[in-house]
Structure 1
Amino acid sequence: MRTSLIALAAAATLATGIAQAETASYAIDPTHTFVTFEIGHFGAAVNRGRFDKKEGSVQFDRAGKTGKVEISFDATSINTGTPAFDKHLQSADLFNAAQHPKISFASDKFVFNGDKVSEVSGQLTLLGKTGPVTFKANQFNCYQSPMLKREVCGGDFEAVIDRTQWGMNYGVEWGFAKNVRLIAQIEAVKQ
């Protein structure tokens, strides 16, 4: 009996080591990674913008169906195509980029549908406040890049947040929308 328990413990330890060995590290490819935001403007139009400076990493174990993402965006790199609007978005009224230049997302859960990631849940830090957000995957795939000669994994994700949960209240009393749609297209290169 004792021999069986020792053998079982050894097998469990070996299995744990094998599972950990399958976790791969990926670096965010900034040329194929963007986070954009959309917010309604009095029901007449939709304002859109993106963050041009970003960095991050992904830990991904396809066989174990686990993962971890850490990505950050520079609030001073907001780009709407209109410099005056960018400046207002960066002001203390909205993103307060001078005091809170970094926006970050750290995942704590990957959900799979078969072999594909279907959603990623984690914590969004914005304006110095942290709260839960779940991004649903519109698509997800891993492929062998013919240019990089390495595996690349990525997808197109989206979430809707209530910006007031992070203290971004500007314009709500005038009828500006609270809900903001976040679209994250992310590709990461296996290291």
Structure 2
Amino acid sequence: MKTLASILAAAVLAAANSAQAAPLRYEVEPDHTFVTFEVTHFNTSTVRARFDIIKGFVELDRQAKEGRADIAIDASSISSGVPNFDKHLKSGDFFDVAKHPEARFTSTAFKFEGDALKSVEGELTLLGQTHPVTLAGKRFNCYDQPVLKAPVCGGDFEATIKRSQWGMNWGIDMGVPDDVRLLIQIEAVQQQ
């Protein structure tokens, strides 16, 4: 027959194990997080731009190999390095920031191979439309950040999307490609 002490010890151990398995919350670290995109320009050069304001969080349970992400991108923070091009990108021809000031990626599943996060499936909301996107992962890692003195997780993720799927059609009939390569470099800081 089990004693009360052994039952309590088992309950404490079970509670400790469930506490360790709980997802940890990580807030996006803006100095090491970049969302960029690139598209070829009439099959000659590659045109790139990035968004400078990204906010959000990642919840990660590395033991259970599960996670959740919700990332908001300020569309008006787009920067190509060319002011006239930025103005065009913000217009109704492309991101239409007056009507749609935010783009958002919300995950639906994290896919692991061993301890490595290989992809994040989710939904990208852009121009008021939401469609599925899978971000392939590279160099996913967690480490103790020596400057912030906190655990940090992050990596490089990418996908190629067809912008017309979200109704961004300007220039396709002139030869500006529909395919857009998204590149996301993200680091997020564990919250206490």
Amino acid in the other structure paired with 1:85: F
Question: Post-superposition, which runs of at least 4 consecutive aligned residues in structure 1 deviate over 3 A?
Answer: none
The yes-or-no answer on 1:120 pairing with 2:120 is: yes
Query: Does 2:177 match 1:188?
Result: no
- Please tell me the root mean square deviation across aligned C-alpha atoms, in Å: 1.8
Structure 1: gaps (5+ residues): 1-10
Shift of 1:190: 0.2
SS at match of 1:31: helix
Gaps of 5+ in 2: 1-10
Please tell me whether the aligned partners of residues 123 and 131 of structure 1 are also in contact (alpha carbons under 8 angstroms): yes
TM-score w.r.t. structure 2 length? Answer: 0.90
Tell me the residue number matched to 1:93: 93
TM superposition shift of 1:19: 6.6
Partner Cα distance (1:33, 1:114) in 2: 25
Match of 2:142 in 1: 142
In the TM superposition, what is the alpha-carbon distance from 1:153 to its structure 2 partner? 0.1
**Count of aligned residue pairs for this structure pair:** 180
Distance in 2 (CA, whole Å) between partners of 1:67 and 1:171 is 37
Q: In 1, Cα distance between the equivalents of 2:19 and 2:168? A: 42
State the match for 2:132 in structure 1: 132
1:124 positional shift: 0.1
Q: Give the equivalent residue in structure 2 for 1:107.
A: 107
For the Cα contact (< 8 Å) 1:26–1:58, is it kept in 2? yes
What does residue 22 of structure 1 align with? 22
- Give percent identity, aligned residues only: 53
TM-score w.r.t. the length of structure 1 is: 0.90
CA–CA distance in 1 between the matches of 2:89 and 2:158?
A: 21
SS at match of 1:38: strand
Instruction: Work out whether residues 19 and 64 of structure 1, in 8 Å CA contact, stay in contact via their aligned partners in 2.
Output: no
| Counterpart residue identity of residue 23, structure 2 | T
Q: Distance in 2 between matches of 1:19 and 1:120?
A: 24
After the TM superposition, which residues 47-62 of structure 1 pair with which residues of structure 2 at under 5 Å, given as runs? 47-62=47-62
